[in-house]
Structure 1
């Protein structure tokens, strides 16, 4: 399997064998990234949610850690089902322990309430 490492800005072109041997990395982080990506891929999920009584209609959110890639659709369903009311502070936890992953959904900006 061929990958491009995203751990640092170099973007090394990695190759991973069936035995999880990695080549093409210029640092040890690339090897760890490639092995993890092949065996248990994860992603930080970013999205927006509707917010009532806010200065804007949508509030940007993200997970505060990695979610297993196979749970992203379920994660998005949970995110799209919540109701948020302004005001909200940046880093406020909107969903704790999302899908029992130990990862929280947090706001990525402040949102003031409409006057």
Structure 2
């Protein structure tokens, strides 16, 4: 049996949560959370950790050299670095609007990378 201690980031409380796992990695109990979101966060963090991704993408022909982007939903934690490397290779053409899909289904994760600001043509 193993106990994993994590700090929850699902809400501003920052609960210290303990997750008890058996030898096969299955969750036996979750304690220390003050809300349901904490329970869900702890279970996901211990079985399939995910992270939101934010970065920038180069823009050609725009008034700005880059545009900020984010993942439309969380990506698997073990794919974050590879996703950032893939995004760094991209260059998109202006104009860019908020919500434009910059990269669909990045690295086969099922997650789109979308623009979070505008970049008009120069």
Fold equivalence (TM over 0.5):
yes
Structure 1 residues 26-105: aligned runs within 5 Å: 26-105=34-113
Q: List runs of 5+ in structure 2 lacking aligned partners.
A: none
Q: CA deviation at 1:46?
A: 0.4
State the TM-score, normalizing by the size of structure 1.
0.94
State how many pairs are aligned. Answer: 114
- Residues 3-26 of structure 1, C-alpha deviations (whole Å, 9 max, x = no match): 111111111111111242111101
Q: CA deviation at 1:95?
A: 0.6
- Residues 61-84 of structure 1, C-alpha deviations (whole Å, 9 max, x = no match): 011011101111110111011111
Could you say what the CA RMSD is over the residues aligned between the two structures, in angstroms? 1.0
CA distance in 2, matches of 1:26, 1:37: 17
Q: List runs of 5+ in structure 1 lacking aligned partners.
A: none
Q: CA deviation at 1:58?
A: 1.4
**What residue number does 2:21 align with?**
18
